[in-house]
Every structure is written in C-alpha cells, then in structure tokens.
Amino acid sequence: MELQAQTLVSAKWLANMVDRNPVGPGLRILDTSWYLPMMNRDAKKEFAETHIPGASFFDIDECSDRTSKFDHTLPNEQFFADYVRNLGIGNDSHVVVYDASDFGAFSCTRVWWMFRLFGHTQVSVLNGGFRDWVKRGHPTTATYSRPEAARFTATMERSWVKSFEDMTKNINRQQFQVVDVRPRERFLGWEPEPREDVKSGHIPGSKCMPFSEFLDKDGMMLSPEKLKEFFEQSQIDLQKPLCGSCGSGVTACHMMLAAHLCGAPSATVYDGSWYEWFTKAPPEHVVTEVKPEI
C-alpha cells in the first residue's frame, strides 16, 4: 500500500530533514512560485537569487498543455511524468512544495494538487512557505545543482477535474457546489480581473471563499476546526460534492487543500476556471451584482 505524506509540514521539520539528510531521491523540495503580472515579480529570477537549499524550481506554465489557449492547463500524464522525473522525482520520493509569495501560500497548492491528481500522494505543503522559512532564520542559498533524472510513472484521476461542459450542466442539475476563491470584489464584478480581455463576475450558483481567508495573518493554513467553520459560514456542505474555481485554476487548489484537511470526501477543480468560463459562457451566465452606493 502506498504511503501518504503528512499534508502540511513545518519549517522546523523541513530544516531538520535537510540537516540530517541532504536533499536527494528520497526528499525533493520544489519552489513552485508563480505570480500574476500585476504582482511585478519574477519567480525564476528570485529562485536564482535565493531558495531553500536543495530546492528545484517547478514552473507551472512550463508543466502544462502548451497547445491550450488557456493559461497553465493541465498536461497529460506522460508530460507530467517527464517533467517531474527531470527534477529528480521518482514514485518513491517525498515531495515538499512551497512558494515565496507574501501570502505564505499562493501557487504551491496547485502543484500539491497536481502531484496527487497524477497519483503521487507522497507530497506535502510547507506551511507558511518561504516567508515563514526566512522569518525563522533557516538557511537559504543561490546555489542550484540539477538533480539526476529519476523514474516516474503518472496515473491521472480524471474524475478530480471539471470541464466547461461539466460546469454548464451543473447550473441546472446542481450536482456539486462551486466554490470561487477569487477576492470578493472580483467575484461580485466590482473590481477588474488581472487579464484585460476578461471581465469580472461569477458562475451562477457559485459561492465565494477568498483563498487568502484559508490562511491566518502569518500565512499559515487555518486549523481544520476553523476551516470547517469557514465552509459552514459560506454555506458549503463538506459532505456533498464540491468544486473549486478561481481565475485560471491555481488558487482554486487552496480549496482542495482545505477540503482535504477537513476530510471532505469529494472535491474537484474546474481547471479552466473563470478565464475559460468568461470566454465561452453566454452573457446570462456571467453574473455580476450592483455595487451599493456609499
């Protein structure tokens, strides 16, 4: 039976692991940083300047279906397997993912979910991310040694991914709850989307749970008890199927992580998310709300 890694690991735990055993085939650390253009940050450049010792860089845009018109669409099994094996990751590797965002977690949950989606459960999120690692005084480096390629086989769990057609049918059938993790102002149609060719709003029947509210002020994931309260306050029943959505499928995976920590039995991601929905849906399925006058 395949082992499942602890979902969240602390900076102290990872620092102890790195001290005792140099990063290698048994433990691989990935900087999965990715930013919106509006954030004015260069993830690859920052990785080259500073990262956790032994880490490699996982590029969400490169590990994607490059034929898709939408951003970082999921790749197929073979592409994912080839990409991660070239990062020295094998089927027995314990993978720890983090990002260097100011949030504490931004894009790392997408890569955590991707590994699980492709059948690799030995994956953990560094709770608090690079932000907490640095805050606690753990070492960083600019040195990078490309790992030796490993053997990795991927098997995709396709039922974990929703398509545009699935989302359209669900408007009437209501077979699963839709959780949109974008900021409320974008969800309501009050603030613009990061992409100039996309207007804000939301999918009919969806509920808003901003991804930043899954984290505390220090960038750490809320406890399962507090996460369950957040879901309940947002009128989401964790015992019923649910699907995460965001701008382009990255932060939607915060909902997946939160649901997993709460023991939810059925959670999925709409990979195309709002970018695809706005592009394909008829105008009546792009919902906005009137902003109240102050």
- For tokens 């970082």, the residue is 72
Tokens of 129: 């991310």
The helix or strand, by DSSP H or E, that contains position 119, with its residue range, turns out to be none
> Which residue in 103, 84, 99 sits closest to 31, CA to CA?
99
**Cα–Cα distance, 36 to 257 (Å, whole number):** 21
**Cα–Cα distance, 200 to 275 (Å, whole number):** 9
**Cα–Cα distance, 247 to 201 (Å, whole number):** 11
Give the start-end residues of each E strand in the chain.
Answer: 8-9, 27-31, 56-57, 94-98, 123-126, 161-162, 177-180, 207-208, 242-245, 267-270
Active site residue 243: no
Count, in order, helices (H) and strands (E) of the chain: 10, 10
Which is the catalytic residue, given 208, 246, 253, 262? 246
DSSP string, 23-44: SBTTEEEEE-----GGG---HH
Angle at 138 between CA 134 and CA 140, to 5 degrees: 75
**Which amino acid is present at 268?**
T
> Which residue in 286, 278, 288, 290 sits closest to 189, CA to CA?
288
**Cα–Cα distance, 273 to 180 (Å, whole number):** 9
Q: Catalytic residues, which ones?
A: 246
